[in-house]
Every structure is written in C-alpha cells, then in structure tokens.
Structure 1
Amino acid sequence: MTDLILEWLLSNNIELLGAILGILYIIFSIRQNILTWPTGLLTSALYVAVFFKSKLYADMGLQVYYVAISLYGWYFWIKGNKPQNSQKVPVKKTSKVLWAKLSLTSLVLYVIILYVLLNWTNSDVPHMDAMTTALSIVATWMLARKYIEHWLFWIFIDAFSAGLYVYKGLWPTVILFTVYTVMAALGYTEWQKDLKSNEPKKNNVSDWD
C-alpha cells in the first residue's frame, strides 16, 4: 500500500505541487497580499503541463494567460492609483456599464474558444472547457483590477470545474478546486469588509468603466 501511494505521489508530483501553490495563491489574494502574483505565476506554469497531458487545451491556454495577467496584476497592485495614506489599491464595485462590457467579452471569448476546441483539438468536453476558460479570463482581469465581484465568478467557476476534474480523474485538482470554492466565498466576505472601510474615502482611481 505504501509503495502504491509513493508511486502515485511521484507520478503526480507536478499536479500536487501546483495544487499546494494554488491554495497559497488564493490565501494571498484573500489578504490582498502582493505575493498573490508570483505564487499564481508559478502555479500556472505547472498547470500548463498538467492540462496538456489531460487534453484540457482551453484550460492549458488559460494558464498561459494567467502567467501574463500575473505580471500585469503584480504591476497594477504596486503602481496603481492609491488613496492618500494607503499602501494598496482599493477594492472596487463593478459598475453597470462595466458589467455589460464584461458580459459581452465573456460571450465573445466563449464563442472563439469553443470554435477552436471543436475544430482544432480532440477535447471531449469543449463546451464546458470553453465556458470555464472564458469566465476565468474575465474573472482574473477583475482580480488584477480589484473588482470585488470577481469572487462571485470564482465561486461558480471553481464549483463547476471541480465536477469537470472529477470526470477527468484529476483528484488533487478536484480537492484544490473544492477548496477554491469555499475560499472564494470567504474571499468575497473579506473583501466586502475592506470595501466598506474604504467607502467614505474618495480617490481618483481610473478604471475601464
């Protein structure tokens, strides 16, 4: 039994390391810690290999995007506009105009990704893969810009993805995304506290809204 466990651990070491780093990533993001981004970058690099092996090509491409957005988020959290007497970019609500833009962006991304998966890959779950990928692209941008509603995206995405990974037999990743779902709900609650504490403060943050 011990030999079987050891063999499994050795054969899934990349996925396990990615899962551990992924949990650290979400902890850091809940706390709005700048370590969110280097940790997320490393997690994404590992999952490129995991998802390629599992033929989840849209998810693999998403990890490449995560590497790029991690660099952007890292920069924005350091250099973005901050209120006076504050060391961090404030949490913000998503405006109605921005919601409309993000909804349209999600739909366009879904159609494009689905077309690619159906015509140029052997993905056996193209619709689900395309949907979670499109929403994840938008949600990660929202995290980089500190829009609180990105947590609501992640609650849905992570719960849905956990079911998808059960189907694929990626058990460490199933556990990871189940934890993600719970922690996304916690993250929304924690960011709400920060948002309320900043509501009386006016700042000159310029956003895509």
Structure 2
Amino acid sequence: MIDFLFSQYEDYSTLQIILEIIAVLFGLVSVWFAKKNNILVYPTGIVSTVIYIYLLYKWELIGDLLINIYYTSMSIYGWWLWSQKKENQVEYPIANVSKKEIGLGIVIFIITVFFVVLVYHFFNKFTSWTAYVDTFTTGIFFVGMWLMAKRKIENWILWIIGDIVSIPLYFSKGYTFTSLQYVIFTVIAIYAYKEWKRNLVN
C-alpha cells in the first residue's frame, strides 16, 4: 500500500518532497480559515501557492502553475476586499451570487479554458488525458477563487467539484501528498458550505 501511494517520489529530491508537504499543510490551514470566514485564509494561502509555483515550474506542469499564479494574485485581492469595513462592519459579508455575477463567472470560465488550451497547444502539453481535465479544473478554480474573494457562498460548490476531480488527477501525475490534500479539501469544503449557509441565514 505504501509503495502504491508513494513510489512516485523515488526520483524526487528531498527538498521537493519537504516543500510539497509544507505547501499542503499551509493549504489545509488556509482552507480551514476560509471555512471559518477568517481573513487569515489569504496569508496562509499565499505561502502555499508561492511554494507550489516553484514546484510546478520544476515539474513543468503549466496549467497548475497558471492556477497558482492566479491564486496568489487573487489572494492579495481577496485579502484587500475582506479587510474593507464601513462603519466598523465588514463591507463584503457572506452573500449569494447575483445573476450578473453568474454571467461574469461563466465568462471567466470560458476565457480561462480558452487561454489554457492555447498555452497547452503552444507548449505541446496535450499528450495525456490529464491535460484535458486540467483545462476544466483550471476554469472551475479560477471562478471559485474569484467568488471566494467576493465572499459568495457558491464558491464552495465550485471548490467541491474541482477538488473531487483533482484527487485522481494529482495522484495520476505522481503527487500523492497533493492528492491527499484534495481529499481533505473536499471534506472541509462540504462543511464550509454548510457553515457559510448558516451564517447567511443568520
């Protein structure tokens, strides 16, 4: 069982393995803070995504690299939005997505997928099924991150979909720790959706 899960790491450097574990831990902490509607989701998330940017560059995973560059920039944007207050009240509280935001989200998804397809064609990365799935998950996560920055409860639905797809995706790529991270992400996202929904009602 151990060999099945971790034999992929035989050719990896110790530094890369340690960095992946650190990135996973900070990623889990970040999602936990997001579940709690705590602004610390962003600084902890930035640590994770910056480490992944380095690792994904070394692993030549272009789509995943783009996702984490976007995560980092959106984390800065979300950190700023979540810190805004009016009369000592949070300016952007938990809310449902509007029809306009649904339309904009669809546009973001389409543009993202189109962009990733162009990048993959340029780098000749459409060599396995994982590349095609990457285009889908990238679009899902781009919209999910944008909705989280705006504190829209529907962001969790997109995270759940993307996380479930990412579990076998990352395992097949040989990144067991990251795959296990997405298992935990999925569980946290389900509970986070329920918790945000309760806060929305109250």
Do Structure 1 and Structure 2 share a fold, with TM-score over 0.5?
yes
- Offset of 1:65 from its aligned partner? 1.2
Kept in 2, the 8 Å contact 1:54–1:168? The answer is no
Tell me the amino acid that sits aligned with residue 96 of structure 2.
Answer: K
Q: Is 1:20 aligned to 2:13, yes or no?
A: no
Q: Which runs of 5+ in 1 are unaligned?
A: 198-209
What is the distance in 2 between the residues matched to 1:192 and 1:9?
43
Tell me the amino acid that sits aligned with residue 195 of structure 2.
Answer: E
**1:76 corresponds to which residue?**
81
Q: 1:62 aligns with which of 59, 67, 72?
A: 67
Q: Which moved more, 1:34-43 or 1:114-123?
A: 114-123
What is the distance in 2 between the residues matched to 1:194 and 1:78?
18
Q: Is 1:52 aligned to 2:49, yes or no?
A: no
RMSD: 2.3
Number of positions where the alignment pairs a residue of Structure 1 with one of Structure 2: 192
What is the distance in 2 between the residues matched to 1:134 and 1:189?
24
What is the distance in 2 between the residues matched to 1:163 and 1:25?
22
Q: 2:166 aligns with which of 144, 157, 161?
A: 161
5 Å matches for 1:8-157?
Answer: 10-11=14-15, 12-79=17-84, 82=86, 86-87=89-90, 89-122=92-125, 124=127, 125-157=130-162
What is the distance in 2 between the residues matched to 1:191 and 1:109?
27
Tell me the amino acid that sits aligned with residue 134 of structure 1.
Answer: G
What is the distance in 2 between the residues matched to 1:36 and 1:183?
13
Name the TM-score, length of structure 2 as normaliser.
0.87
Which structure has the larger Rg over C-alpha atoms? 1
CA offsets per residue over residues 8-35 of structure 1, 9 Å max, x none? 8935001000000010000000111111
Q: Evaluate the alpha carbon distance shift between residue 88 and residue 24 of structure 1 in structure 2; reply closer, same or farther with a 3 A threshold.
A: farther
- Offset of 1:88 from its aligned partner? 6.6
Name the TM-score, length of structure 1 as normaliser.
0.84
- The structure 1 segments of at least 4 consecutive aligned residues displaced by more than 4 Å after TM superposition are none
- Offset of 1:106 from its aligned partner? 0.4
Q: Which moved more, 1:114-123 or 1:163-172?
A: 114-123
What is the distance in 2 between the residues matched to 1:9 and 1:138?
34
What is the distance in 2 between the residues matched to 1:75 and 1:184?
22
Identity %: 27
SS in 1 for 2:97: coil
CA offsets per residue over residues 35-67 of structure 1, 9 Å max, x none? 111001110001112222333211111111111
What is the distance in 2 between the residues matched to 1:109 and 1:133?
7
What is the distance in 2 between the residues matched to 1:60 and 1:69?
14
Tell me the amino acid that sits aligned with residue 103 of structure 1.
Answer: I
Kept in 1, the 8 Å contact 2:82–2:90? The answer is no
Kept in 1, the 8 Å contact 2:163–2:182? The answer is yes
Kept in 2, the 8 Å contact 1:114–1:126? The answer is no
